[in-house]
Structure formats: structure tokens, C-alpha cells
Chain A
Amino acid sequence: MEHRWDDDEELFADLVEAVRGVGPEPGTLAADARTTFAWHTLDDDLLLASLTFDSALSGVAGGTRAQEPDRASRLLVFSTSAMSVELVVDRDGRLVGQILPPCEARVTIEAATGEPTEVTADDLGFFMLPRIPADPVRLRCETAAARLVTDWVRL
């Protein structure tokens, strides 16, 4: 079937529009790419916990804005098949988390830039962080049974 893009000039004209619309590449791109890749983990035993729920998106995800996002706090859930991590971020930027099923753990909060913070989860799996970094973060949790790392997210 005939398509507009079967014609070289039509295809090229649309390509010009698409590429020019992006704007110039920032000079820092190569450095940014290296920084990002420095976070690459090659560890087969590490479980990756995907962000499976975020209350910030619950009112928007379907394309409607009928529901105002909850202004009091934000709930996030990261899941693997065996274990999950729930986070509540309150309006003052404090974070309370729980590892499920509940167990003691060492929890490291890694920020894309800056030093990691380490806290301890008690025997009910609860842990707290008084201040949240402005950069994207991820959590690394080590329990007696398993080690997991969450998806990156901006809190």
C-alpha cells in the first residue's frame, strides 16, 4: 500500500521536523551517561524490586484528573515475587518504610549524587529516614534471607 513516506522528500521533511524539534544535545550528555552507568549492578543474586504502586499517579494514570492527588502523604510500593518494600513520604519530607514480610534489615538509601545513608529496619521491618534527598533515590535492603534493590524514583 502507498504511504507518504515512500517518497524520499516527504520522509525527509518529517524527519527534519522531528529531529529539529528535539533541540540541541547538551554538552554534558557523555558525562551524564557515564555517571548513570556507574550505577550499573552486575549481581545475579540481587533482586530488582519494581515500583508497582505510587499514590501520586493513582489519580492521573487513566488520563483523567478527576481525583486530586493525596496531599497529605505519598505511598509507594516496590515489589519482587518474594518481598516488597512500602514507603510513606509525608508532607514534611520524612520517610517511613516497611519491608514485607516483616523482618530485620539493613537499608541503604542511595542518591544519584551524594553519599548513601544507612538505616536499620526493626524486627517488624520498619525503618525511618528524617530527610529525603532531592535527587532520584533507590533503596538497597539486606535481610537474612535476601538482598534487593528498588527502582530509582524521585521522592
Chain B
Amino acid sequence: MDDEVEFPITELVVAAAGGNAGAWAQIVTRYRPLLITVVRQFGLTPAEVDDVAQTVWLRLVEHLDALREPRALPMWIITTGRREALRYLAVERRTQPRDPSRLSAPEVDRQAAPLDEELMRAERHQALLAGMAELGTRHRQLLLLLIEDPPLPYAEISRRTGVPVGSIGPTRARALERLRRTPSIRAWMAAEADGRSAARMKG
């Protein structure tokens, strides 16, 4: 592992596995966006997404011990989130086979964009959100504040982060550089360079 890259996730996983509730809360806060993005792809309502997320978090609590490799946690969340969303859909279909609104949601979504493109976008978002989860707290917080909609004035961002207004720009650049060096983003950029999707990107 590159020493330059701040990587607190393994430590958080070990601490949470050992019973540290604060570390667990950090894991949930950091990885919730990734999990929500994964589960939402399946056309579930927000309440259903929360149901699936609850099952995934409950299960993760008992699987922390097995996830001490840096890349293991995001991969586990993506895989388990997908499988539990599918399970939820399958069981809902079985118990409520004639609810057309629930069944048509994914089809409607897919008409908006070609399936390939949509899958690519979803995977790109997952890589970015996994990278954000791996970022140090201060850089992560600054980027999230800069993304707020409607935008926050720099003075307000400065007040919340303690970063002087004149340093926000350079700090943002450093945060983005760190993001680029997180294991999740590096893996994604390397996979694209390998060409799995390079042709599509050019076209």
C-alpha cells in the first residue's frame, strides 16, 4: 500500500469488529451513499431502499471480521447490496404479484438511457462514492460542502471547516488529488485504461 495515501478504513473496520461503536458509525456514514446508489438501481422506492439497507448493515455488523483487506469492504457492500435488492424484489413479487407500479419502475428507468450507458454511469458513481468513503475526514468534508446544492458561500465553508477562504481552492485541489489516489478510484481508472470501457469513452 502507498504510504502517501491516507487509508483509515482498515483501522475503522478493525475497531468496529472489536466493538467500537464510534468506528461503526463512521463506516455507516462513509459508505451509506455507496450502498444507497447500488440498491437504488433496482427501481425500489426510498422506503424499500431503507429496508434493504437495514438488512445489509445488520449483516455487515457480523461480517466485519472477514473484511480487513482494504478493498474488501466496498466490494462486500456492492455485492451484498445488489443481492439483497434482488432478494427484496423477488420476495415482493412473490407476495404481491399484481402490483404493476412496483414491477414497471426498472423498465421505465431503462428507457431513459441505453442500458450500457446507464450501467457505466452507475459503476462510475459507485467508484466515486467508494473513493469518497476512503478519503480523510477533512478532505471529505470540504468536498461535500463544495457539492452542496444550493452552493454554500466560501465564507460559510471556511467557518465550518476552519480552512481560510483563500486556501479553499488549493485545498480542494489537494483533496481531488487524494481522491484520485484512493484504492477505489485507482482501480477504476486502471480498469478503464485497460480498455474494458475505453472504446466507449472515446465514442
What 0/1 pattern do residues 68 to 111 of A give for CB contact below 8 A with B? 01110010000000000000000000000000000000000000
Residues of B close to A151: CB separation below 8 A: 59, 62
Is the C-beta of A66 less than 8 angstroms from some C-beta in chain B? no
Number of residues of chain B lying within 8 A (CB) of chain A:
53
Question: B interface, by DSSP: helix, strand, loop or mixed?
Answer: helix
Give the total number of A-B pairs whose CB atoms are below 8 A apart: 135
Is the C-beta of B157 less than 8 angstroms from some C-beta in chain A? no
B62 A21 Cβ-Cβ under 8 A:
no
Is the C-beta of B86 less than 8 angstroms from some C-beta in chain A? yes
What 0/1 pattern do residues 137 to 157 of B give for CB contact below 8 A with A? 000000110110100000000
Residues of A close to B28: CB separation below 8 A: 29, 32-33, 36
Is the C-beta of B125 less than 8 angstroms from some C-beta in chain A? yes
12 contacts between A and B (CB under 8 A): A5-B180, A12-B176, A15-B179, A19-B128, A19-B144, A22-B33, A29-B29, A32-B54, A33-B29, A37-B16, A37-B21, A60-B90
Question: Hey, which bits of chain A sit against chain B, CB under 8 A?
Answer: 1, 3-6, 8, 11-12, 14-23, 25-26, 29-30, 32-34, 36-37, 39-42, 48, 54, 56-57, 59-61, 69-71, 74, 112, 136, 138, 149, 151-154
